[in-house]
């Protein structure tokens, strides 16, 4: 079950660290939100991160539930870079201090002398940057499709580009569930990660769509 938002992870490397971390946080917070991925990404505080434990705390996630979301090892490495190189170059704030409650994400004020970092980012900015990242990814995929000699692979690249042009941060939530099941995770594990209250909510991701069926036929080798 290949889903195009994964192209942001698999085929695109962004030169700006803040773009990488924005995608990383949206991708991590996808499993806790019913629909407010941007809102939750904007709400992450420095104290919410437990990089040694590879989790991020959800303070008002799906159905208002408090909980912790697991982080992929790649996300942990990227977050460490973000903290040391951009967000907290002078070191993390002391535990329990007001600074620890500052927002994790922020903006580099490029028009001000010294390009200072300002904590806090709006959901509108998150959506705008995500759209920009997705558009660049789509352009890279289309360029790769033009150079791809195999028709089947070129078609898949163009399909992924088409989907990316209409992708949203919330699409990552669905992409995660499909990807977990495709990688062999059990329905029970996916239900827990996605924080679904009922198994029926998770089961819908196990239902193949038309593209999934085409992929199965392609992998079978044909007649």
What is the model's pLDDT at position 19? 47
Question: For 172-191, what is each residue's pLDDT tens digit?
Answer: 777 778 888 888 889 888 88
d(CA 160, CA 2): 9
Whether residue 5 lies inside any domain: the answer is yes
Q: Is residue 102's pLDDT more than 80?
A: yes
- CATH number, domain of 25, equals 1.10.443.10
Using DSSP bridges, classify how beta strands 49-50 and 55-58 pair: parallel, antiparallel or unpaired. antiparallel
pLDDT at residue 157 in the model: 86
pLDDT of residue 66: 65
Task: Tell whether 188 is covered by a domain.
Answer: yes
Mean pLDDT, the chain, whole residue set: 76
Domain that residue 70 falls in: 1-109+116-213
131-161, pLDDT tens digit by residue? 887 888 888 889 989 999 999 889 988 988 8
Is pLDDT of 56 > 80? yes
Long-range contacts of 39-43 (CB under 8 A, 24+ apart): 39/123, 41/105, 41/126, 41/169, 42/103, 42/105, 42/120, 42/121, 42/122, 42/123, 42/126, 43/103
Which of the given ranges, 33-37, 91-95, 194-198, has the highest pLDDT on average?
91-95
For residue 220, is it within any domain?
A: no
With respect to residue 222, please indicate whether it lies within any of the assigned structural domains: no
- Strands of 37-153, DSSP E: 49-50, 55-58, 67-70, 106-108, 117-119
Q: What is the pLDDT of residues 114-135, one digit of tens each?
A: 888 888 888 888 888 888 878 8
Asked if residue 170 has pLDDT above 80, the reply is: no
User: Do 69 and 55 contact (CB within 8 A), yes or no?
Assistant: yes
Cβ(188)–Cβ(163) under 8 Å?
no
Mean pLDDT of 66-78: 79
Instruction: Give the residue-averaged pLDDT of 48-63.
Output: 79
- Within a domain: 180: yes
pLDDT(31) > 50: no
Q: What is the percent of the chain with per-residue pLDDT over 70, rounded to a whole number?
A: 75
Distance CA 138, CA 144 (A): 10
Total domains in the chain come to 1
Cβ–Cβ < 8 Å for 66, 10:
no
């Amino acid at each position: 079950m290949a889903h195009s938002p994964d192209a942001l992870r698999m085929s695109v490397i962004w030169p700006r660290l803040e773009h990488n971390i924005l995608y990383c946080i949206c991708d991590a917070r996808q499993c806790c939100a019913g629909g407010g991925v941007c809102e939750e990404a904007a709400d992450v505080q420095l104290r919410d991160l437990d990089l040694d434990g590879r989790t991020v705390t959800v303070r008002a996630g799906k159905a208002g539930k408090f909980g912790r979301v697991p982080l992929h090892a790649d996300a942990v490495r990227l977050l460490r870079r973000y903290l040391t190189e951009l967000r907290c170059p002078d070191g993390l704030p002391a535990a329990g201090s007001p600074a620890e409650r500052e927002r994790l994400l922020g903006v580099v004020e490029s028009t001000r002398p010294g390009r200072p970092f300002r904590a806090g980012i709006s959901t509108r900015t998150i959506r705008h940057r995500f759209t920009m990242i997705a558009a660049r990814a789509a352009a890279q995929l289309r360029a790769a499709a033009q150079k791809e000699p195999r028709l089947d692979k070129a078609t898949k690249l163009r399909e992924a580009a088409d989907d990316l042009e209409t992708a949203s941060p919330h699409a990552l939530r669905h992409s995660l569930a499909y990807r977990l099941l495709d990688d062999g995770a059990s329905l029970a594990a996916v239900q827990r990660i996605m924080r679904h209250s009922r198994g029926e909510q998770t089961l819908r991701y196990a239902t193949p769509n038309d593209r999934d069926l085409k992929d199965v036929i392609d992998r079978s080798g044909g007649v």
